[in-house]
Amino acid sequence: MIDETHAADRTSWIASANGHATFPIQNLPLGVFSPQGGAARGGIAIGESIFDIGAALEADLFSGAAREAAEAASGRTLNPLLEAGPAARQALRRRVGEILDAKGAGIAKIRAISRLVHDASGCVMQLPAAIGDFTDFFAGIHHAHTAGMINRPDNPLMPNYKYVPVAYHSRASSVRTGGGLVRRPNGQRKLPEQDAPDFGPCRNLDYELELGVWIGPGNELGSPIPIAEASRHIAGFCLLNDWSARDIQAWESQPLGPFLSKSLSTFVSPWIVTSEALAPFRMAQPPRPAGDPAPLPHLNDVADQARGCFGIDFQVLLLTPRMRAAGAAPHVLSRANASMLYWTAAQMVAHHTSNGCDLRPGDLFGSGTVSGTVPGSEGCLLEMTRGGRNPVSLPGGETRTYLMDGDEVIFRGTARRDGYASIGFGECRGTIGEALALG
């Protein structure tokens, strides 16, 4: 629902929020942070600051449903708030918007409250929720087709792709907030000319640009979520980097699929951009190409097809050690948009639970790699270099087929629509570290 919280002319008494490209007052994403010398707690991004939900509770700035929601969001994880559902998030969003509004009542008193806001640069971001399960989908059809052309040129898409939101269960324990090191993993690799595999550091380390989906209220085991209700079970979204060891993946994915090539680490941006904040940026799911089958009934809902897609622009940037040493800016490798996904987030939820599987608050989905159809819209180096055959040219004469030690990958995402303030996801960063020690 679009309401007063989305008004483009709304401003905040926190000056850095006004005109902020990522966290204006129209966004108010949820996260968990640790201020300097303090314990982890729930917060909301506003400009270059973080609004401390617990401090606002202590100052008695909430009442009624908003207070209940704030209490659920003030702890070391946001799971209690995610479980509470959309009404609780909406109540919290509205009240925090009132507190931070430049035209709100009692601004002088609110601004005088110490510890109500923290300088974001002095805080450490934590995972916003305790993740019970992580499911990675394959909803980027252009990525699926291009990767298929590299590996199976005569049959790039499997027959089930346009009927099933294909996915696999990945490893929740290795999900981290971005900003740290990704150690180059070891694994079994087999070159075409080798008779048998060997074991050693990954040679073909890659990133995958994905949209992360945070689950809100769950469902009971044996109770599928109907497609018409699925969006109510989605609390919000983030950026997700599904680090991928391509040479290990190629060998181990026969026949069951990715395992150690994917569980090495997954990075997410630390803020949950809520479904409520993204309401103005919903759009119709692009029509399927002529000849494609219509979604089966358990995945087909008129409202979801009309509003289940999002207009979110993505960027992938690379900063190499040489560029860093020269003081150069990160180089934009590619741009894509969430509308390029073949399946909606609601379809993922509905299909995931269609066999009675239960989801829990704080579960995480990855959309699968978001890619387009033209050069410069690829969501990973596998596509961009056509499996390492066509190196990417970088400023200063460098090239890449896959990632090298010291390379930093940066994801950015922004939702845009005429007549509304743009909102962003922040960054999802990760730097490639040296290989894990053998033995």
pLDDT in tens, 161-170: 999 999 999 9
Residue 439 lies in a domain: no
Specify the pLDDT at position 110: 85
Q: Are residues 119 and 138 in the same domain?
A: no
Q: How confident is the model at residue 439 (pLDDT cuts 50, 70, 90)?
A: low
Q: Are residues 257 and 383 in the same domain?
A: yes
Q: Are residues 142 and 100 in the same domain?
A: no
Residue 365 lies in a domain: yes
CATH number (domain holding residue 57)? 2.30.30.230
Does pLDDT of 201 surpass 80? yes
Residue 308 lies in a domain: yes
Does pLDDT of 156 surpass 80? yes
First to last CA, the chain: 56
- Return the residue matching tokens 């990160």: 330
Q: Are residues 51 and 93 in the same domain?
A: yes
Specify the pLDDT at position 396: 92
Q: Are residues 116 and 177 in the same domain?
A: no
Q: Are residues 257 and 375 in the same domain?
A: yes
Q: Are residues 187 and 61 in the same domain?
A: no
Query: Is 143 annotated in the active site?
Result: yes
Average pLDDT over residues 12-19: 96
Q: Are residues 47 and 103 in the same domain?
A: yes
**Domain finish residue from 82, 101, 126:** 126
**Domain finish residue from 95, 126, 157:** 126
Residue 60 lies in a domain: yes
Q: Are residues 71 and 170 in the same domain?
A: no
Q: What pTM was estimated for this model as a whole?
A: 0.97
Average pLDDT over residues 274-281: 98
| Domain span at 33 | 4-126
Q: Are residues 155 and 276 in the same domain?
A: yes
CATH number (domain holding residue 192)? 3.90.850.10
Does pLDDT of 105 surpass 80? no
Nearest CA-CA partner of 22 in 428, 422, 409, 316: 422
Does pLDDT of 438 surpass 80? no
Specify the pLDDT at position 272: 99
Residue 265 lies in a domain: yes
Does pLDDT of 215 surpass 70? yes
Specify the pLDDT at position 254: 87
Specify the pLDDT at position 22: 98
Give the pLDDT confidence of 172-188 residue by residue, as tens digits.
999 999 999 999 999 99
Q: Are residues 195 and 109 in the same domain?
A: no
**Domain finish residue from 92, 126, 160:** 126
Q: Are residues 101 and 148 in the same domain?
A: no
Q: Name the token pair of 375.
A: 């050069």
Specify the pLDDT at position 195: 96
Per-residue H/E/C for the chain: CCCHHHCCCCCECCHHHCCCCCCCCCCCCEEEEECCCCCCEEEEEECCEEEEHHHHHHCCCCCHHHHHHHHHHCCCCCHHHHHHCHHHHHHHHHHHHHHHECCCCCHHHHHCCCCCEEEHHHCEEECCCCCCCEEEECCCHHHHHHHHHHHCCCCCCCCCCCCCCCEEEECHHHEEECCCEEECCEEEECCCCCCCCEEEECCCEECCEEEEEEECCCCCCCCCCCHHHHHHHEEEEEEEEECEEHHHHHHHCCCCCCCHHHHCCEEECCCEEECCCCHHHEECCCCCCCCCCCCCHHHCCHHHHHHCEECEEEEEEEECHHHHHCCCCCEEEEEEEHHHCCCCHHHHHHHHHCCCCCCCCCCEEECCCCCCCCCCCCCCHHHHCCCCCCCEECHHHCEECCCCCCCEEEEEEEECCCCCCCEEEEEEEEEEECCCCCC
Average pLDDT over residues 235-252: 97
How many distinct structural domains can be found in the chain?
2
Query: Residues near 413 by Cβ (< 8 Å), separated by ≥ 6?
Result: 211, 239, 269, 312, 313, 314, 315, 424, 425
Specify the pLDDT at position 111: 81
Residue 286 lies in a domain: yes
Query: Residues near 165 by Cβ (< 8 Å), separated by ≥ 6?
Result: 137, 138, 139, 299, 343, 347, 348, 351, 352
Average pLDDT over residues 49-56: 97
Average pLDDT over residues 419-439: 93
Q: How confident is the model at residue 112 (pLDDT cuts 50, 70, 90)?
A: confident
**Which of the following is catalytic: 143, 331, 351, 352?**
143
Specify the pLDDT at position 109: 79
Residue 166 lies in a domain: yes
Look at 151-160, 177-186, 320-329 and tell me which has the smallest mean pLDDT: 151-160
Residue 438 lies in a domain: no
